[in-house]
Amino acid sequence: MEDLVRQWLVKIGENPEREGLKNTPQRVSEAWEYMTRGYTQDINEVINSAIFSVEANHMVIVKDIEIYSLCEHHMLPFFGRCHVGYIPKGKVFGVSKLARLADLFARRLQIQERLTDQIARVIMDKLNPEGVGVIIEARHLCMMMRGVEKQNSSMVTSAMLGSFHESIATRNEFLELISHEPRI
C-alpha cells in the first residue's frame, strides 16, 4: 500500500520525498487499514455473547449512531447518523452491539442503500425479532466536493423488515420516536 501511495503522489505531481510527505505513505496505509477494518471483522465475534433473554416485546431503539464510510464508486467518505429499532421476541442485543454492527458494515467500501439493508438483515438473522427498522441519514463527499457539488444535500435510506414493513402503525411509531429530540 505504501508503494502505491508513493506512486499516487508522483502521478498527481507531488514529490513523495518532500518534508511534509515523507511519512504520508505510511500514514495513508494505516488510515485505510483502519477505515476498512470491517472486512477483517467477524459478525459473530462482534456480537460475542451479548444476546440476552428478555420477556419484553416492546420496541428497542438506538438512534443517532454516528457512521463513517467510504463510497465504493469514488472512495470518498460519507458520514451521518444511523437509527436502529427492533421488536424483540425473547432476545435482545447488548446496546453497544447495534453500534458495533453499524460500524462493521460502514467500515467497508459501501453504498448507503446496501449498508442500511445489511444492518437490518443481520439483526433479523441473529435475533429473529418481530421486526427491524434501520434508517441512515448521510452526507456524501462525492456529491459535495466533486461532480454536482451540492454541499447541502443529504441522502436518507431505510430498511424495514417484518412488522416494521407490514404494519404502518409500527413503522410510524419508529419514525416518530427517532424524530424526537432527547430529553436527557
The answer, yes or no, to whether residue 70 has pLDDT greater than 90, is yes
* Every domain of the chain and the residues it spans: 2-35, 47-179
Please report, rounded to a whole number, the percentage of residues in the chain having pLDDT higher than 90.
Answer: 89
Q: Give the sign of the dihedral formed by CA 114, CA 115, CA 118, CA 123.
A: negative
Q: What are phi and psi of 50, to 5 degrees?
A: -90, 45
How far, in Å, CA of 88 to CA of 127, rounded? 7
Using alpha carbons, select from 71, 66, 158 the residue that is nearest to residue 116.
158
Mean pLDDT of 12-18: 97
Q: Any alpha helices (H) in 40-181, and if so which ranges?
A: 43-47, 95-106, 112-127, 141-144, 163-166, 168-179
Q: Given pLDDT bands bounded at 50, 70 and 90, which one contains residue 183?
A: low
Q: Specify whether the CB–CB gap between 134 and 93 falls below 8 A.
A: no
Residues annotated as catalytic are: 71-74, 112, 140, 142
For the entire predicted model, the pTM comes to: 0.93
Using alpha carbons, select from 137, 126, 141 the residue that is nearest to residue 86.
126
Mean pLDDT of 5-12: 97
The answer, yes or no, to whether residue 182 has pLDDT greater than 80, is no
The answer, yes or no, to whether residue 184 has pLDDT greater than 90, is no
Q: Specify whether the CB–CB gap between 112 and 141 falls below 8 A.
A: no
SS3 call for 22: coil
Q: Given pLDDT bands bounded at 50, 70 and 90, which one contains residue 28?
A: very high
Mean pLDDT of 81-103: 96
Q: What is the CATH number of domain 47-179?
A: 3.30.1130.10
How far, in Å, CA of 115 to CA of 33, rounded? 19
Residues 101-159 pLDDT 10s: 999 999 999 999 999 999 999 999 999 999 999 999 999 999 999 888 888 899 999 99
Other CB atoms within 10 A of residue 44 CB: 9
How does the average pLDDT of the chain come out, rounded?
A: 95
The pLDDT of residue 147: 86
